[in-house]
Amino acid sequence: MQMTFRWFGDSDPVKLWQIRQIPGVTGIVSAIYDVPVGEEWPLEKIVQLKEEVESAGLSLSVIESVPVHEHIKLGLPGRDRYIENYGRTLRNLAQAGVGIVCYNFMPVFDWTRSQLDYVLEDGSNALIYEEEVVQRMNPLSGELQLPGWDSSYRKEELRLLFDQYALVDEEKLWDNLAYFVKAIMPIAEKVGVRMAIHPDDPPWPIFGLPRIITDGDALNKFLRLYDHPVNGLCLCSGSLGANPNNDMPALIRRFGAEGRINFMHARNIKHTGERSFQESAHLSSAGSLDMGEIMRALRDVNYAGPVRPDHGRMIWGETGKPGYGLYDRALGAVYLNGMWEALTKERAASDKN
């Protein structure tokens, strides 16, 4: 296992030298943020990012993410141009020595929460999702500013997208995902880049938009679209775990045994109602997920890929990008590494006996 940390580039309040000082963290998860969605990432920008990370004594382990253009998700006539650009970006990443790309296929909105700064009992701030609140929201009002939403959409553009998605149900979205996968994965296989699709967050439809990467059956269906290790998963415990029916250790053992987990997001959440949850500290007792069993499952399948502590609370008065403060994610990284060390020693002792 390689412990990694998300970094949003030079504009990130968290600096590379700070990440370098977190015990056990050796990799960076980042992206190119100033290239429009759908356009090719220039090789020189990728190399510049990689060199900046390496100059801090870290490795550029994962690109998260190369966004998929809405024309691809919608299956519009112009999608082939964007798929061609995506393929060229993969070739450039491979040339620069980057081996893993995370992405998602969520229509319009990325991960979505109803509040950025909910105050937990200990006084820290966390991201939360309350289904009742989200159901009352009008995504076309122009007044919504929620995390995970692409603020680059103007009100008119958002309305057009909703009109277009009115013609896209789950079956059609699966068809469009299959079209993308079957075009991109041969390129990924040829250049040696492992792809990792991120599950929908939360793993159910919002605002009438379909979401399809939601549970074990969906993950299995996705993997069969192109049955090769380059077509893999980013298993996110917080995303999938928002649905109590998703047994994360079982999912890890199921797909890890096939060698299809290419990236892992490890975080905890606390269920607060049906389709409602709070993000919590990584500690098992802080949330509803057993992080010890999640890490044990990764150990049992001999997972050797990157893991990153995902969203964290904002603690000790820290401000910045909600969910992406330094302190709580650093605590999470050390906690996860500590469990991994204990599990590794436990296995070694068992093997001796």
Torsion of CA 101, 105, 108, 111, to 10 degrees: -70
Active-site residue, 71 included: no
Write down the catalytic residue from 103, 265, 303, 335.
Answer: 265
Active-site residue, 265 included: yes
Write down the catalytic residue from 86, 129, 236, 282.
Answer: 236
**How far apart are the C-alpha atoms of 323 and 12, rounded to whole Å?**
13
Q: Which of 185, 183, 222, 225 is nearest to 200 (CA)?
A: 222
Query: Which residue in the block uniquely carries the two structure tokens 């990728």?
Result: 46
pLDDT for residue 135: 86
- Give the single-character DSSP code of 68: P
pLDDT for residue 146: 56
Write down the catalytic residue from 12, 200, 310, 328.
Answer: 310
Q: Which of 329, 324, 246, 340 is nearest to 291 (CA)?
A: 340
CB 4 within 8 A of CB 37: no
Q: Which of 261, 176, 260 is nearest to 210 (CA)?
A: 176
Active-site residue, 236 included: yes
Write down the catalytic residue from 129, 165, 303, 324.
Answer: 324
Burial category of 265 from C-beta neighbours within 10 Å (exposed 0-12, middle 13-18, buried 19 and up): buried
For 346, residues 6+ apart whose C-beta sits below 8 A from its C-beta are none
Per CATH, the number for 2-107+168-267+289-352 is 3.20.20.150
Active-site residue, 324 included: yes
For 128, residues 6+ apart whose C-beta sits below 8 A from its C-beta are 113, 114, 115, 118, 272, 276, 277, 278, 279
Active-site residue, 282 included: no
pTM: 0.93
CB 306 within 8 A of CB 325: no
What's the pLDDT tens digit per position in 246-292? 999 999 999 999 999 999 999 999 999 999 999 999 999 999 999 99
pLDDT for residue 145: 56
DSSP-assigned letters across all residues of 172-213: HHHHHHHHHHHHHHHHHHHHT-EEEEPPPSSSS-BTTB----
Q: Which residue ranges in the chain fall short of pLDDT 70? A: 142-153
Write down the catalytic residue from 69, 71, 282, 311.
Answer: 311
What's the pLDDT tens digit per position in 223-255? 999 999 999 999 999 999 999 999 999 999 999
Write down the catalytic residue from 129, 198, 234, 335.
Answer: 198
